Amino acid sequence: MAAEPQRTLGLLSVCAPVYNEEALVEEFYARATVALAAFDYELIIVNDGSSDGTSAILDRLAEGDSRLRVVHLSRNFGHQAALTAGLEHARGEAVAMLDADLQDPPELIAQMVARWQQGADIVYMVREQREGESKFKLVTANWFYRLFRSLAQVDLEPNSGDFRLLDRRALDALLSMRERDRFLRGMTVWVGFTQSAIGYSRDARYAGETKYPVRKMLRFSLDAIASFSHVPLQLATYLGFLFSGVAFLAIPIVVALRLAGSYLPGFGSITIAVLMLGGIQLIAIGVIGEYVGRIYDEVKRRPLYIVRDQRNEPIALGEVRHGDELAPEKIPG
């Protein structure tokens, strides 16, 4: 890699979603600002419909710093939609995304940029250590990544989260995927390009509580699997063949036993078979329902998020970039 020409970075965009994080946004902003001081950057914080003091804090911070862009969503759309909003508002040549709770140290963005300069289009951070997470979360996360890898044909590295940096080309490819069920870390692998991993130790949350209770985590996992795999649907077919096979094998046995004159009461076994098949059929219908529901959501083509308000919006002229003076010839009319 060393032989490749070094890329030079113009604008770097950094996106972070926040939802009810009044206890830590200021700290996040302060640490990110110091960590990014060496770059020409824009920090985009997406306020995912917070109902606490987060919005007001962000507005105040944005007033004193034009490099901080704040995108307020009209309600809580969820982590992945908020992240998408951030990515769509980013104008940089390279775009990094991270959680705002300081579990992903902003200081490491410089390492990702260095990899990008060496030619990597997508740089993802792999958690080698995770501080302050419950045993339950670690175990279930591990199961999830194993299940996901075996069902989906996407080679997602276990323990790689949404802490990533994307080259503009990779980002444009990612943003061209308009699906509603957004499993962004899987989608960034799916788009291809040159991928590169960096190990890091994930810190504990700086303050406040996780916004991913078990219920949301389960939903997120189902979304991830359903949007990358048809295996659950095909399972019904396999089971159908299996049980039909068993049924056919049973026919000659029953006939033989009848001819041999042995009478089978068989009430218990028939009941079990009927109940089990009924159960399997209901599960299969449920699985189909999960997919049909998602198809329904997709065909409605609703926007992924709605912006209520923005702070430090870039000037609408495409060419005028952050830091540029408004030269007289660039002013229209």
Which region, judged by CB under 6 A, interacts with ligand UDP, from 180-188, 208-216, 222-230, 260-268? 208-216
221 belongs to the binding site for ligand UDP (CB under 6 A): no
Taking the complex as a whole, how short is the minimal distance between the CB of residue 149 and ligand UDP, in angstroms? 19
CB of 205: closest distance to Mg ion in angstroms?
5
* Cβ(100)–Cβ(52) below 8 Å: no
- 104 CB-side CA count, 13 A: 27
The smaller minimum CB distance to ligand UDP, of residues 76 and 229, is found at: 76
Contact (Cβ atoms closer than 8 angstroms) between residue 83 and residue 46: yes
Give which of Mg ion, ligand UDP, none residue 76 binds (C-beta under 5 to 8 Å, depending on kind). Answer: ligand UDP
What's the rounded Cα separation, in Å, for the pair 326 and 317?
A: 10
Examine residue 212 and tell whether it contacts ligand UDP (CB under 6 A). yes
Instruction: List, in order, residues 6 or more apart from 313 with CB less than 8 Å away.
Output: 69
Of 63 and 131, CB closest to ligand UDP = 131
From 79, 182, 185, 311, residue interacting with ligand UDP (rule: CB under 6 A): 79
- Give the residue among 50, 81, 82, 72 at the shortest CA–CA distance from 208: 50
- Does position 13 bind ligand UDP by CB under 6 A? no
Q: How far apart are CA 159 and CA 143, in angstroms?
A: 11
# chain residues binding Mg ion, by CB under 5 A: 3
78 binds ligand UDP (CB under 6 A): yes
Of 76, 159, 196, 281, the one binding ligand UDP (CB under 6 A) is 76
Q: Measured from the CB atom, is 78 or 92 closer to ligand UDP?
A: 78
Please give the Cα distance from 81 to 268 (Å, whole number).
51
Rounded Cα distance between 285 and 240, Å, is 13
Question: What is the Cα–Cα distance from 277 to 247, expressed in whole angstroms?
Answer: 11
Site for Mg ion in 61-120 (CB under 5 A): 99, 101, 103
Task: Match 């299996």 to its residue by tokens.
Answer: 242
Does 167 bind ligand UDP (CB under 6 A)? Our answer is: no
Using the rule CB under 6 A, is 223 a contact of ligand UDP?
no
Taking CB within 5 to 8 Å according to partner kind, which of ligand UDP, Mg ion, none is near residue 82? ligand UDP
User: Considering beta carbons, is residue 12 or 16 the nearer one to ligand UDP?
Assistant: 16
Indicate the length of the chain as a whole number.
Answer: 333
Q: Which pair of tokens denotes residue 57?
A: 């804090």
Question: What mask, x for binding ligand UDP by CB under 6 A, covers residues 37 to 66?
Answer: -----------x------------------
Q: Choose the one of ligand UDP, Mg ion, none that binds residue 212, judging by a C-beta under 5 to 8 angstroms depending on kind.
A: ligand UDP
Q: How far is CA 161 from the centre of its chain?
A: 8
For strand 68-73 and strand 11-18, is the pairing parallel, antiparallel, or unpaired?
unpaired
Give the pairing type, strands 11-18 and 40-47: parallel
Quote the Cα angle for 117-149-276, to 5°: 160
Q: Does 210 bind ligand UDP (CB under 6 A)?
A: yes
Task: Return the DSSP state at 125.
Answer: E
The residues of the shown chain that bind Mg ion, judged by CB under 5 A, are 99, 101, 103
Residues that bind ligand UDP (CB under 6 A): 17-19, 21, 48, 76, 78-79, 82, 99-101, 103, 205, 210-212
